[in-house]
Structure 1
Amino acid sequence: MDDPRLRGVVVPHPFDLDEFRLNLARQRGRPLYLHDLPAEATALTATGGIWLPTAMDDHIFIPCDLVDVARDRVTLRHIGHMVYEHRTVVADGFDLLLAHGLTAYDYSAEQIAEAEAFAAHILAVANS
């Protein structure tokens, strides 16, 4: 995957999601926080999680019942949306999340494919 947005992205060996997150946050100059999405809210998301950018930082909410590789893959997919700056109609913070609900994030098929490719690429690099 030869993409200028991925140049300089450090993938730790062995893969550690928190270390990857911190490296990426330093590289981008924006804090990136991961949060557990409560089970009752998981059913409201169309994508099994959500990325919420704010003016100062980024937040990714992941279903609390995901573990190990499944959690890494879903988290990386949302990091992919963030890296590729996939904005949707309602992608501007917590107030809109509360006003419109988690289902307001509706990525195009192309955006989803790009984010999935990002996740697959990072995991492939981590396992090489």
Structure 2
Amino acid sequence: MSGRLAEIVALLDVPDPFSVEELVRRIAATRQRPIVLRAAAMPPEGPSGLWIATGTTDHIWYAAGTSPMHQEHIVLHELGHLLCDHETPQPDPDLALRLLLPSLDPAMVRSVLGRTAYSAPEERQAEMFAMLMLERAGKLPSRVRPLSPELCALLDRVEAALAPGLRS
């Protein structure tokens, strides 16, 4: 699974400096299909993001009430579903109605929409895509660099001075 994801990420035209909005624009241009990003008030018990593909457009909703970094991660996760060719699930009817048709009575159309979700492997794949994209964009904290021998020796001396009985 990660090999395919790495290929997908490697083939993307990732903007530098990174911008999720610019990445979405570039993916939409390549696919020749619009992708619309929408902030929405997501219920605490529900998903923090949602991707719905219509006949002509991909719509990605993300939680409005969270940090910009989390919003970016949510959008990348939903892009992962899109780029990995996952089936667009039917969302929870109440959530879909509130997002798509805010003026309609949910009771009137609730029975039309089914309750299905992505499989666990698809969720893991979308999450891995988001993490690979953040890594490629340089947005993840850098890995710890090895310490120089001098710094290691200094830290050993400080540790020995502060906690002499802990070292063997």
> What is the TM-score of this pair, normalised by structure 1?
0.80
Q: CA deviation at 1:8?
A: 2.9
What pairs with 1:87-106 in structure 2 (closer than 5 Å)?
87=87, 89-90=89-90, 97-98=96-97, 99-100=109-110, 104-106=115-117
Q: CA RMSD in A?
A: 2.8
What pairs with 1:73-112 in structure 2 (closer than 5 Å)?
73-87=73-87, 89-90=89-90, 97-98=96-97, 99-100=109-110, 104-112=115-123
Distance 1:27-1:103 versus aligned 2 partners, 3 A rule: same
Q: Which residue of 1 aligns with 2:21?
A: 18
Tell whether 2:71 aligns with 1:71: yes
Q: How many residues align?
A: 122
Q: Which residue of 2 aligns with 1:32?
A: 35
- The residue type paired with residue 87 of structure 1 is E
| Cα distance in structure 2, aligned partners of 1:14 and 1:90 | 35
SS at match of 2:125: helix
Contact 1:50 1:105 in 2 (8 A): no
What pairs with 1:38-53 in structure 2 (closer than 5 Å)?
38=41, 41-43=42-44, 45=46, 47-53=47-53
Q: Determine which structure has greater relative contact order: mean sequence separation of CA pairs < 8 Å that are 6+ residues apart, divided by chain length.
A: 1
Contact 1:88 1:105 in 2 (8 A): no
Q: CA deviation at 1:28?
A: 1.1
Report sequence identity in percent: 26
Distance 1:103-1:72 versus aligned 2 partners, 3 A rule: farther
Q: CA deviation at 1:64?
A: 0.5
| Cα distance in structure 1, aligned partners of 2:24 and 2:89 | 25
Q: CA deviation at 1:19?
A: 0.4
| Cα distance in structure 1, aligned partners of 2:77 and 2:89 | 19
| Cα distance in structure 2, aligned partners of 1:108 and 1:48 | 17
- Tell me, which stretches of 5 or more residues in structure 1 are unaligned? none
Q: CA deviation at 1:6?
A: 4.1
Distance 1:24-1:105 versus aligned 2 partners, 3 A rule: farther
| Cα distance in structure 2, aligned partners of 1:65 and 1:86 | 26
> What is the TM-score of this pair, normalised by structure 2?
0.62
Q: CA deviation at 1:85?
A: 2.0
Contact 1:9 1:27 in 2 (8 A): no
SS at match of 2:11: coil
| Cα distance in structure 2, aligned partners of 1:105 and 1:68 | 28
Tell me which structure has the larger Cα radius of gyration.
Answer: 2
Q: Which residue of 1 aligns with 2:147?
A: none
